[in-house]
Structure 1
Amino acid sequence: MKKDIHPDYHKVVFQDSSTGYKFISGSTATSEETIKWEDGNDYPLIRVEISSDSHPFYTGKQKFTQADGAVDRFNKKYGLSN
């Protein structure tokens, strides 16, 4: 393997923005934001939009919390009612 051409591989905490679920994994991603993990060490924190905790494929159900609000706003804006 050539030296000094590979990115630094380290532990990173990923946090699902919608559910707050956190998990630690190895990654080359980095962040200025850090978080203290259960082992007492600080790790870079990467916020993700979706994870296995919130993805419909893994949860078996769809969450429409944002979509419902968008539909209501659309109906309110254009005067449509049920």
Structure 2
Amino acid sequence: MKPDIHPKYQKVVFKDTSTGFTFLSGSTMSSNETIEWEDGNNYPLINVEVSSDSHPFYTGRQKFVDAGGRVDRFKKKYNLD
């Protein structure tokens, strides 16, 4: 195996920017930002927009999209009425 071609696997803290939920996990990602975790150690901080705390599949809160408006626009665009 070639040396120094694999990324460094380390513990990092992921923070959901929409809810503020944080969790510690192993990852190959890195960041210039750090945060002090509950164990007193500093870890790289990775900001994410969606996590299990805010994703509709895990929370049960669904966001419904007006599909009818899209269909009407498609039909109008291609004269399918």
Q: Same fold (TM over 0.5)?
A: yes
Partner of 1:5: 5
Percent of residue pairs identical? 75
Q: 5 Å matches for 1:1-82?
A: 1-62=1-62
Report how far residue 4 of structure 1 moved: 1.4
**TM-score normalized by the length of structure 1:** 0.72
**TM-score normalized by the length of structure 2:** 0.73
Report how far residue 31 of structure 1 moved: 0.6
Q: Spell out structure 1 runs of 4+ moving beyond 2 A.
A: none
Counterpart CA distance in 2 for 1:60 and 1:9 is 33
Instruction: Work out which of the two has the higher radius of gyration on C-alpha atoms and give 1 or 2.
Output: 2
Counterpart CA distance in 2 for 1:62 and 1:21 is 19
RMSD: 1.6
Structure 1 portions without partners, runs of 5+:
64-82
Counterpart CA distance in 1 for 2:5 and 2:29 is 16
Q: How many residues align?
A: 64
Report how far residue 33 of structure 1 moved: 0.6
